[in-house]
């Protein structure tokens, strides 16, 4: 139980609020994970905005624990991405549910999935559509997913090992295509294999700056609708070989850490959206005076009496203990080239009270990962309690030498009240 408690503490600090765990012997049901899966759907997926009943039922009935490695079994029903080997991950349940809902699956749909991974997304789609064709470029992952899907009984899922950039031409045209890895731009073969009027759900963009789109084929062209900023593993093969913009892991930096960058016109309708960041929950970008304390509080944006010296910042507000309120950002960082960094930020709070655990408090946290996306540790500045005016905090931290990337997190993380953040930065220390 000590290891479990430590795991819970780390995950809460990094922004993953856990559902109640079922311990061995606690349930005599044929499916000992049923209760925790239902709780995951209610507290982490439905509450976060997924409303399609068929999709929610599919998440409830799909045994995610069958699709994760044994080393990750204890975290199978946490709302988080998990490593599955070969530098790949299984997406968080919320993202799987959100993408599936965006696809608007119909019982008559023929669907192409690019990036089989563990097979979990294909399994979720299986009861919702007529047939799923799924392609995985990594041999061992593709073969393992095929064995898992066959063993569990998904007869309407066909898999193959190959480069998803090329699609599955002999099975086309497809009513829907869902891509669970990120290319820099949409592969032309996928456009050709999508039927007229069909929909494509795909994350597109730079390695750590992506937007999930719904694209509808109209008169042979794709009409784009942005859905949310996101972070997926890259589409490898031809898509990665031809990528024009690549990250610089020797010089890590925070994108829009001062929140000066505003949304583009086609992104203005997105909720919880702050440019440069992804998976926002209960957050808004503020461009004007941020009045927390009422009419007599003179704290403002740029030139404010509290010394904030900014014209925009991110505000997190939460009234329900334990409910997520955060922003995340992926960062390229090579631990062999960057041995130490300074993590800095400013925070202002109003009536902040801790959430269900003592760790559910506002922080600025960074988690490091190796080339296989195994967690190497989390470091933070904070927590920030009660009511406080703008103040700056920083911390020097050593970067584990195995580090290949990091996830930066800011927010309330289950605490209640209001927290404003600004000037979030990472400085490489030579």
**Active-site residue numbers?**
91
Distances (CA, A) of 169 to 35, 83, 109, 164, 195: 41, 30, 16, 11, 12
Grouping H, G, I as helix, E, B as strand and the rest as coil, residue 225 is strand
Say if CB 52 and CB 101 are below 8 A apart: yes
428 Cβ contact list (under 8 Å, min separation 6): 251, 252, 338, 340, 341
6 DSSP 8-state letter: H
CB atoms within 10 A of CB 5: 9
Report the distance separating Cα 212 and Cα 169, nearest Å.
24
Q: Where do we find the tokens 């020097």?
A: 396
3-state helix, strand, coil in the chain (%, to 5): 25, 35, 45
H/E run at residue 346:
strand 340-353
Say if CB 22 and CB 32 are below 8 A apart: yes
Report the distance separating Cα 97 and Cα 108, nearest Å.
19
Return the structure tokens found at 405.
């990337």
Report the distance separating Cα 347 and Cα 393, nearest Å.
8
CB atoms within 10 A of CB 267: 15
Q: How far apart are the first and last CA of the chain?
A: 40
């Amino acid at each position: 139980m000590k290891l479990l408690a430590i795991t819970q503490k780390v995950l809460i600090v990094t922004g993953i609020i856990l559902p109640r765990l079922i311990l061995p012997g606690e349930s005599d049901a044929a499916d000992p994970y049923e209760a925790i899966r239902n709780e995951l759907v209610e507290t982490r997926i439905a509450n976060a905005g997924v409303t399609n009943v068929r999709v929610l039922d599919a998440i409830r009935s799909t045994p995610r624990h069958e699709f994760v490695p044994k080393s990750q079994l204890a975290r199978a029903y946490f709302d988080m991405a998990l490593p599955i080997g070969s530098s790949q991950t299984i997406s968080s349940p919320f993202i799987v549910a959100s993408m599936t809902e965006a696809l608007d699956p119909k019982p008559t749909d023929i669907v192409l999935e690019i990036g089989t991974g563990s097979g979990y997304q294909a399994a979720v789609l299986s009861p919702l559509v007529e047939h799923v064709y799924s392609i995985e470029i990594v041999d061992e992952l593709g073969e393992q997913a095929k064995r898992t899907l066959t063993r569990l009984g998904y007869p309407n899922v066909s898999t193959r090992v190959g480069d998803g950039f090329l699609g599955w031409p002999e099975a086309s045209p497809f009513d829907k295509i869902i891509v669970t890895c990120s290319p820099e731009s949409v592969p032309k073969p996928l456009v050709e294999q999508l039927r007229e009027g069909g929909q494509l759900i795909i994350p597109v963009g730079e390695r750590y700056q992506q937007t999930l789109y719904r694209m509808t084929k109209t008169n042979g062209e794709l009409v784009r609708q942005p859905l949310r900023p996101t972070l997926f593993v890259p589409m490898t093969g031809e898509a990665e070989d031809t990528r024009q913009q690549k990250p610089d892991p020797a010089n890590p930096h925070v994108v829009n850490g001062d929140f000066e960058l505003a949304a583009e016109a086609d992104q203005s309708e997105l909720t919880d959206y702050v440019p440069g960041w992804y998976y926002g929950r209960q957050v808004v970008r503020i461009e004007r005076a941020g009045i927390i304390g009422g009419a007599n509080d003179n704290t403002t944006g740029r030139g404010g009496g509290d010394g904030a010296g900014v014209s925009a910042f991110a505000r997190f507000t939460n009234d329900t203990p334990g409910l997520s309120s955060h922003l995340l950002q992926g960062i390229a960082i090579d631990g062999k080239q960057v041995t130490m960094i300074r993590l800095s930020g400013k925070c202002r709070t109003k009536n902040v009270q801790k959430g269900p655990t003592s760790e559910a408090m506002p922080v600025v946290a960074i988690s490091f990962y190796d080339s296989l996306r195994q967690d190497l540790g989390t470091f933070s500045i904070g927590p920030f309690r009660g009511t406080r005016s703008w103040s700056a905090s920083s911390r020097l931290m050593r970067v584990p030498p195995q580090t290949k990337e990091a996830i930066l997190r800011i927010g309330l993380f289950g605490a209640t009240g209001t927290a404003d953040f600004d000037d979030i930065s990472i400085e490489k220390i030579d």
